[in-house]
Structure 1
């Protein structure tokens, strides 16, 4: 046994990675698994993919607890993550102070990088916002959809488009080289999502999984969580 297996939303990848050295020093184990769209990760657990712990939205964790796939006593909220706008590192920030300016920014972009619009938290929300702003048809050909936000942001960073923009969880923007956070989605279009961790009921390394959860929520890790994009408490 050299690693603990995790299934996690992409929003937590940067934070988990930053804690990996401490976790290994504490337990002797590395961290392996997958980070992706939360819906896809939940389905993997349901289909029997081995995992010691999961980090998903609070709503999905609650559903998995009802399905007896995670241990209810282990459930712990990590923090709130906002859905936000990203631009390439060298590009000017996009103005997204209200719905009208967000609409203008999206219409001005010649490529819009987003995560899975059917399985990821941010992607599903982006699809709703485009409907809300009444620009679905106008931007359809410019949407660049990827399995998760981290992948979308890497492609945004490498894009040769003239005016590309991206939209995903703030944590995925912060942890990706070559892009920068341009601002959270404005009032009326915003989304703040609670991310939660839990040990699975079939965990081979339940003790170690709980140790990682304890690290993720520890009071002395507040600064690390904040730098990674996790806010304290619901908004």
Structure 2
């Protein structure tokens, strides 16, 4: 059985997983590869990691196309993903209607689970928000930083802290058992990131990659995209 190699931001892992059976029925291919911080995945491609399809932020894919690593004409938007708050299943919701209440929610937490604050979309944003709110130093020892949002959410689900909270992309929260989406970050602190798919110049199976892109953006999958946490995207 052949594999389609993927390098993807963690934001798309749930959606790709949901579409894998349909893709296999269509092409006979399984999907293998890596999901993680978008910056790490982009660097993996730059260093020659095998990939037939990449799913990253629109800005990163545009840069990879400029670097002649991705076929520019293959790039297609999947949808926007919001950065959001998460709590353990069964814990009270963390309500943040504005920057003031977000500050209070974060200060009330004794453990804050986030993805890579140097290479992931959500992690970089969280680090910036903590600075913006003036609490970066105060909560530094409470940060629990993991390579990806999915890993951070699994660790949140298993946390024994008194009042833990998580912050990553909504798609990673939705696809993780044991945590609950508590809502997007409030106005002034929000982040909605467009995720796109593209085919690397060196792809071994570009035709099959195009089939997966068509599944990801197809009108028939709009409901699946919405359930997975993507906003907008193709009709």
Which of the five TM-score ranges fits, normalised by the shorter chain?
Answer: over 0.9
- The separation in 2 between residues aligned to 1:95 and 1:225, in whole angstroms, is 25
The aligned counterpart of 1:25 is 25
SS where residue 85 of structure 1 aligns?
A: strand
Matched, 1:154 2:154: yes
Please give the alpha-carbon distance, in whole angstroms, between the structure 1 residues aligned to 2:129 and 2:183.
15
Residue in structure 2 matched with residue 145 of structure 1 by the alignment: 145
Contact 2:81 2:231 in 1 (8 A): yes
In the alignment, the residues of structure 2 paired with residue 2 and residue 29 of structure 1 have an alpha-carbon distance, to the nearest angstrom, of 5
Task: Map 1:42-81; keep pairs closer than 5 Å.
Answer: 42-81=42-81
C-alpha separation between the residues in 2 aligned to 1:197 and 1:136? 34
Could you tell me which runs of 5 or more consecutive residues in structure 1 were left unpaired when the two chains were aligned: none
The RMSD of aligned alpha carbons is: 0.9
2:18 and 2:42 map into 1 onto residues whose CA distance is: 23
Distance 2:219 2:68 in 1: 29
For residues 32 and 210 of structure 2, the distance between their equivalents in structure 1, rounded to whole angstroms, comes to 15
Structure 2 matches for 1:176-191, cutoff 5 A? Answer: 176-191=176-191
Q: Does 1:117 align with 2:117?
A: yes
> 1:135 and 2:135 equivalent?
yes
**Deviation (angstroms), 1:116:** 0.2
* Partners of 2:75 and 2:4 in 1: CA distance: 18
- Give the Cα separation in 1 of the matches to 2:51 and 2:222: 26
Counterpart in 1 of 2:165? 165
After superposition, where does 1:155-234 map in structure 2 within 5 Å? 155-233=155-233
Corresponding residue for 1:108? Answer: 108
Q: Is the 8 A contact 2:217 2:233 kept in 1?
A: no
Which whole-Å CA distance do the structure 2 matches of 1:215 and 1:183 have between them?
27
Q: SS of the residue aligned with 1:154? A: helix
Q: CA deviation at 1:220?
A: 1.1
- Match of 1:194, SS state, is strand
CA distance in structure 2 between the partners assigned to 1:161 and 1:59 by the alignment: 36
Aligned residue pairs, count: 234
Residue of structure 2 in register with 1:10 after alignment: 10
The question of whether the paired residues in 1 share the 8 Å contact of 2:78 and 2:233 is answered with no
Take 2:146 and 2:233, find their aligned partners in 1: how far apart are those partners? Answer: 29
Report deviation, 1:73: 1.1
The one-character-per-residue Cα deviations of 1:196-217 (angstroms, maximum 9, x if unpaired) are: 0001100001000000000000
Deviation at 1:233, TM superposition (A): 4.8
Mapped to 2, the partners of 1:22 and 1:185 lie a distance apart of 33
Which deviates more from structure 2 when the two are superposed, residues 65-74 or residues 11-20?
65-74
Stretches of structure 2 lacking an aligned partner (at least 5 in a row): none
